Amino acid sequence: MKKTQTIFCFLVSFLLISGIQLAFAGESEEDADLVILNGTIYTMNRNQPTAEMIAVRDGRIVYVGDDASKETWIGESTRVLDLKGRTLTPGLIDSHAHLLALGRAKMKLDLSRVGNYEELVRMVEMKIRETPPGEWIIGRGWHQSKWDPPAAPLVKGFQTHWALSKVSPDNPVFLTHASGHAGFANARAMEIAGISDRTRSEAGGEIIRDSDGNPTGIFTENGQELIRRHIPGGSEAQNRRALELAIQESLKNGITSFRDASSDGDAIALYRDFLEEGKLKIRLWVMINGHDEKLVEQWFSRGPEIGSGDHFLTIRAVKLFADGALGSRGAWLLEPYSDRPDHTGHATIDMDRVYEVSSKALLSGFQACMHAIGDRANREVLDRFEKAFNQHPRAAEDHRFRIEHAQHVSAEDIPRFSQHGVIASMQGIHLSSDRPWAIDRLGAARIQEGAYVWQKLLESGAVVVNGTDAPVEPIDPIENFYATVTRRTLKGEPPGGFEPDQKMTRYQALHSYTLAGAYAGFEEDLKGSIEVGKLADFTVFSQDIMQVPEDQILDTEVEYTIIGGEIAYARRQE
């Protein structure tokens, strides 16, 4: 009798559990809020790589499969999105970009398309005509290594301010390098800042000087603060407008989740205001500015904020800069620059601080995210991470610490990412933009050994995630995807790609933008793949980026951005 009762109870339990699972998987009498069909759907779920239809209810995925049961899900109130042959993927995650800076860049003089120094001067001159005397002119995006012809004269690889100052005698001008790691000031700006041939550089930065010791107008890394501290801050209205523009730009480019790579207290307060007002239309994951020691300690004391507002705001990481950028020769190298033999770049922070923050992050439930571009910076950060992991082994069991950029890594340090569970947060588009001139900085041997080595890291077992570093680069995921799978410039050069053995496959590239990106934020159970129970975040493309010929990838458009089952962006009304 007891045996019969046991079997009966087991069968009842089994049927109840099975019934619940079947209802959740699709056999439900309730209508879906949204049904998506008639397109190519890549799920990033290895157990079900593609699907014909998705059903969404209350912002979550409730069905993924064939479209034979579509009538079960479609009711009078159901919105049906006919893809008409287009391609849908999980919502794209930009794993490293700068949200407010992206918006502010839209409000500044955009120098990203400037082809040479003469064009830069001409753009500033035109801006001056509509700017009152004494008002600052701010711009961003120039990159001297991309100019044709090169500026003349050059001092330590940079242009000088004389031509710029000639057209702007009454307006202070400060123009930030595309990388953000150098700035270009005119004579009026330097006068306001009190810069002279006797001014000392800031620690971790440099004032570039000519052979007579005169400042050329170029300030690298922390040296930029000598000028920046004199620039009036943005008003609340300007910051709100910048955030609105950044959100619009993200949605237009199919970004559903944005990893904000360093925000201060004011920015975080603004994000929370937008969340409460219902204006934070993308899912935002924030790294706290680690250079604000008071802010960091406050957050370490209170602990992470995870998933506020139905997973629209998460604050669980801290960001520090270990070095500068390759373009400004601020990346910290083990050996001197090939095109500046007296220089190895800069450590922009004391390494003891890296260890201190890493240890406290482990104990407080935060991820440490360290900017490191040069091979020495990567090694020094890995050393400090390893020391913190050994010091706090229990807290380090699932830390998911990250190195942001990991752009140039010594061969002996490549396996250490996997060995210690450190995530390589890289940007494919940097290869496309930087590789043509980066070889001058590093030389062929170092480039081949450890620059932009996506496959070497993946093959060693490391997790590699992708992003754009916007506004350093455009937030366009199509350009980034193209660069990642072809290793060419956006002009298609060279035909076979730079160091082609390091190309990602298309699956790897999409994975780096979706499921790997979710994992890097402890969110793989919420997003990154199209599975029942996950958030209904999707990106829809005009064509199949996984199949079209390489030379057609850049023709792709983002058609829809869908977040929580709501269409947040549509390229055109249908």
pLDDT tens digits, 492-515: 999 999 999 999 999 999 999 999
pLDDT tens digits, 541-570: 999 999 999 999 999 999 999 999 999 999
pLDDT tens digits, 182-206: 999 999 999 999 999 989 887 889 9
Same fold, 31-91+528-574 and 100-228: no
Number of C-alpha atoms within 13 angstroms, CB side, residue 228? 17
Q: Which CATH number fits domain 31-91+528-574: 2.40.50.100, 2.30.40.10, 3.40.50.150, 2.40.50.140?
A: 2.30.40.10
* Phi, psi angles (nearest 5°) of residue 533: 100, -15
CATH number for the domain whose boundaries are 100-228: 3.10.310.70
Place of tokens 């005698």: 169
Residues 6+ apart with CB under 8 A from 22: none
* DSSP assigned state of 235: P
Measured CA to CA, the distance from residue 131 to residue 168 in angstroms comes to: 11
pLDDT tens digits, 380-409: 999 999 999 999 999 999 999 999 999 999
- Quick one: pLDDT band at residue 69, thresholds 50, 70, 90? confident
For 129-143, what is the mean pLDDT?
93
Per mean pLDDT, which range of 16-25, 369-378, 386-395, 437-446 is the poorest? 16-25
Measured CA to CA, the distance from residue 302 to residue 299 in angstroms comes to: 5
For 277-299, what is the mean pLDDT?
97
Mean pLDDT (the chain) is 93
Report whether 74 contacts 32 (CB < 8 A): yes
Tokens of 571: 């390229």
Q: What is the pTM of this model?
A: 0.86
Extended strands (E) in 449-505: 464-466
- Whether the pLDDT of residue 27 is over 60: the answer is no
Write down the pLDDT at residue 36.
98
Domain definitions of the chain by residue range:
31-91+528-574, 100-228
Write down the pLDDT at residue 202.
79
Name the helix (H) or strand (E) containing 566.
strand 566-570
* DSSP assigned state of 533: T
Helix (H, G, I), strand (E, B) or coil at 405: strand
Kindly tell me the sign of the dihedral angle through the C-alpha atoms of 174, 176, 181, 185: negative
- Whether the pLDDT of residue 341 is over 50: the answer is yes
Tokens of 18: 């099975």
Burial class of residue 129 (count of CB atoms within 10 Å of its CB; 0-12, 13-18, 19+): exposed
Q: What percent of the chain has pLDDT over 90?
A: 89
Q: Which amino acid is at 111?
A: L
The DSSP-derived string for 17-48 is HHHHHHHHHT--SSPPSEEEEEEEEE---TTS
Helix (H, G, I), strand (E, B) or coil at 303: coil
- Quick one: pLDDT band at residue 22, thresholds 50, 70, 90? very low
* Phi, psi angles (nearest 5°) of residue 171: -120, 125
